[in-house]
Amino acid sequence: MSKQENLNMKKWLLPALTIGALFCACSMDTAGTSEEIEGAVALSDKRIVGVSQKGPLVKGSNVVLKETSADGSFTPTGKEFSTTTVSDNGDFEFKGLHLESQFVLLSAQGNYIRESDDEPSECSIRLDAVSNLQKRETVNINLLTHFEYKRVLNLVKEGKSFVEAKKQAAREVFEAFGFSVEVSASEDLNIYHTSDADLILYNLSSLVDGRPEWNDWLDEEQEGCEKLQQYLDSFTDDFADDGVLSDSVLQDVAGYAYYYTSAHAAMEFTTERDIEDKEKHDADERKDHYLRKLKREYEFSKRVFLHYVDIEACTEDLWGQYREFDKPIVLDSWEREVQQGGYLLCNGFSWELTTKEHLDSLLLKIEHENGTMTDERDGKTYKTVSFEHKGKTYVWMAEDLQYTDATVTYSKGADMNKRLVGSYSWTTAMQIDDKYMKGPVKADLLDTLHQGICPDGWHISTSEEWTALFEYVENPENLLDERWRASDIETAFAKDLIGVFFNRFDFNLSIMDPKYLETYYHAYTLDESVLSYDAPAFDENDPWKEPMYGFFDADYPIENSHFSALEITVRGNRTFGVSKAPKAYVRCLKN
Instruction: State the average pLDDT over residues 538-551.
Output: 35
- Written as one letter, the residue type at 212 is P
Secondary structure (3-state) at 485: helix
Residue 47 has pLDDT above 80, yes or no: yes
Question: What are the residue ranges spanned by the domains of the chain?
Answer: 3-27+40-236, 246-363, 369-590
Instruction: State the average pLDDT over residues 585-591.
Output: 94
Binning pLDDT at 50, 70 and 90, where does residue 486 land? low
Q: What is the pLDDT of residue 38?
A: 62
- Written as one letter, the residue type at 549 is Y
In sequence order, what DSSP letters do the residues of 497-541 get, joined into one string? --S----TT---PPPSBTTTTB-EEEEEE--HHHHT--PPPP-TT
Q: What is the pLDDT of residue 483?
A: 72
Residue 6 has pLDDT above 50, yes or no: no
Q: What is the pLDDT of residue 112?
A: 95
Q: What is the pLDDT of residue 143?
A: 96
Q: Which residue has the higher pLDDT, 220 or 535?
A: 220
Distances (CA, A) of 226 to 215, 222, 528: 10, 6, 66
C-alpha span between 417 and 411 (Å, rounded):
7
Residue 29 has pLDDT above 90, yes or no: no
Contact 9, 268 (CB under 8 A): no
Binning pLDDT at 50, 70 and 90, where does residue 407 land? low
Nearest C-alpha neighbor of 209 from the set 107, 89, 123 = 123
Q: Which residue has the higher pLDDT, 447 or 174?
A: 174
Find the Cα–Cα–Cα–Cα dihedral 564, 570, 571, 574, rounded to 10°.
Answer: 70
Residue burial 383-397, b: 16+ Cβ < 10 Å; e: rest: ebbebeeeeeebbbb
Q: Which residue has the higher pLDDT, 11 or 365?
A: 365
Find the Cα–Cα–Cα–Cα dihedral 261, 267, 271, 275, rounded to 10°.
Answer: -120
- Strands across the sheet containing 322-332: 322-332, 337-346, 351-354
Q: What is the pLDDT of residue 479?
A: 82
Q: What is the pLDDT of residue 189?
A: 97
Over the stretch 201-243, which tens digit does the pLDDT of each residue have?
999 998 877 654 444 443 445 566 888 899 999 999 999 999 9
Chain centre to alpha carbon of residue 542: 23
**Of 4-18, 258-272, 392-406, minimum mean pLDDT range:** 4-18
Q: What is the pLDDT of residue 576?
A: 41
Q: What is the pLDDT of residue 424?
A: 87
Residue 467 has pLDDT above 50, yes or no: yes
pTM over 0.75: yes
Q: How many residues does the chain have?
A: 591
Q: What is the pLDDT of residue 574?
A: 38
Number of H helices, E strands in the chain: 15, 19
Binning pLDDT at 50, 70 and 90, where does residue 115 land? confident
Over the stretch 310-347, which tens digit does the pLDDT of each residue have?
999 999 889 999 999 999 999 865 566 889 999 999 98
Nearest C-alpha neighbor of 508 from the set 398, 432, 584, 359 = 398
Contact 184, 29 (CB under 8 A): yes
Q: What is the pLDDT of residue 531?
A: 41
> Cβ–Cβ contacts within 10 Å for residue 325, how many?
17
Q: What is the pLDDT of residue 335?
A: 62
Nearest C-alpha neighbor of 589 from the set 484, 496, 461 = 461
Q: What is the pLDDT of residue 527?
A: 59
Contact 62, 82 (CB under 8 A): yes
Q: What is the pLDDT of residue 146?
A: 98
Q: What is the pLDDT of residue 154?
A: 97
Secondary structure (3-state) at 288: coil
**Of 293-302, 306-315, 412-421, minimum mean pLDDT range:** 412-421
In sequence order, what DSSP letters do the residues of 225-262 get, joined into one string? HHHHHHHHHHHHHHHHHHS---HHHHHHHHHHHHHHHH
State phi, psi for 38 to the nearest 5 degrees: -105, -25
Burial class of 338 by CB neighbour count within 10 A (0 to 12, 13 to 18, 19+): middle
Q: Is residue 339 within a helix (H) or strand (E), and if so which, with residue range?
A: strand 337-346
Binning pLDDT at 50, 70 and 90, where does residue 509 land? confident
Q: What is the pLDDT of residue 323?
A: 97
Instruction: State the average pLDDT over residues 248-258.
Output: 92
Q: What is the pLDDT of residue 9?
A: 40
Name the DSSP class of 56: B
Contact 175, 204 (CB under 8 A): no
C-alpha span between 325 and 353 (Å, rounded):
10
Binning pLDDT at 50, 70 and 90, where does residue 89 land? very high
Nearest C-alpha neighbor of 111 from the set 173, 61, 184 = 61
Q: What is the pLDDT of residue 521?
A: 83
Instruction: State the average pLDDT over residues 490-504.
Output: 78
Residue 247 has pLDDT above 50, yes or no: yes
Q: Is residue 324 within a helix (H) or strand (E), and if so which, with residue range?
A: strand 322-332
Mean pLDDT of all residues belonging to the chain: 80
Tell me the longest C-alpha to C-alpha distance in the chain.
Answer: 106
Binning pLDDT at 50, 70 and 90, where does residue 193 land? very high
Q: What is the pLDDT of residue 503?
A: 84
Contact 466, 519 (CB under 8 A): no
Q: Going by C-beta distance under 8 Å and a sequence separation of 6 or more, which residues neighbour residue 372? A: 381, 382, 383, 384
Nearest C-alpha neighbor of 419 from the set 411, 407, 429, 431 = 411
Q: Which residue has the higher pLDDT, 533 or 165?
A: 165
Contact 235, 249 (CB under 8 A): yes
Binning pLDDT at 50, 70 and 90, where does residue 270 land? confident
Q: Which residue has the higher pLDDT, 480 or 541?
A: 480
C-alpha span between 200 and 206 (Å, rounded):
10
Q: Which residue has the higher pLDDT, 436 or 154?
A: 154
SS3 per-residue string spanning 425-438: CHHHHHCCCHHHHC
pLDDT over 70 percentage in the chain: 75
Instruction: State the average pLDDT over residues 533-540.
Output: 38
Instruction: State the average pLDDT over residues 56-63.
Output: 97
Burial class of 208 by CB neighbour count within 10 A (0 to 12, 13 to 18, 19+): buried
**Of 52-66, 99-113, 350-364, 470-484, minimum mean pLDDT range:** 470-484
- CATH number at 3-27+40-236: 2.60.40.1120
